[in-house]
Amino acid sequence: MNDENCIFCRIANGVIPSATVYEDEWFRVILDMGPASKGHALILPKEHFRDVCELGEIYASKVLQLGGKIGAAMKKTLGCTGFNLVQNNGVSAGQTVFHFHMHVIPRYEHGKTMVAWEPGHADPEELKAVAEQIKAGL
């Protein structure tokens, strides 16, 4: 299903033009208008899903492989030496457009630091307790 008020539904389905890198029956891959690095792309399903928790089974089964394919093409053509697949869910996680999308961010030698966090500390007992908490919601 598409939502006519959703910008990514409109882009994914070609209603609004975009710099398209790839398209098939399920996805359109476009360049991000505010790239974190040269070639930063977004994988957009053509159907509307708010986030990964809603993502349909077919899309979920295909999106990682597509991320790998786009990343490999970037390495061949743009000279990047790696790439990040990033996918934000919820405002607190940095999601700003509420149509599922996966970022493919090329990484270059001596490029700026991105997608990094400072490791914290947790003792094994604490890890066990938190694991139990999460398990209770599955």
How does DSSP classify residue 111?
P
Number of residues that bind Zn ion (CB under 5 A): 6
Catalytic residue of the set 101, 103, 110, 121: 101
101 is catalytic: yes
Q: Minimum Å distance from CB 97 to Zn ion?
A: 8
Give 26 or 51: the residue with its C-beta nearer to ligand 5GP.
Answer: 51
Token output for 34? 């505010």
Nearer to Zn ion, 3 or 21 (CB): 3
Instruction: Choose which of 15, 97, 115, 129 interacts with ligand 5GP (CB under 6 A).
Output: 97
| Cα separation, 108 vs 34, whole angstroms | 17
Q: What is the dihedral of CA 76, 82, 87, 92, to 10 degrees?
A: -150
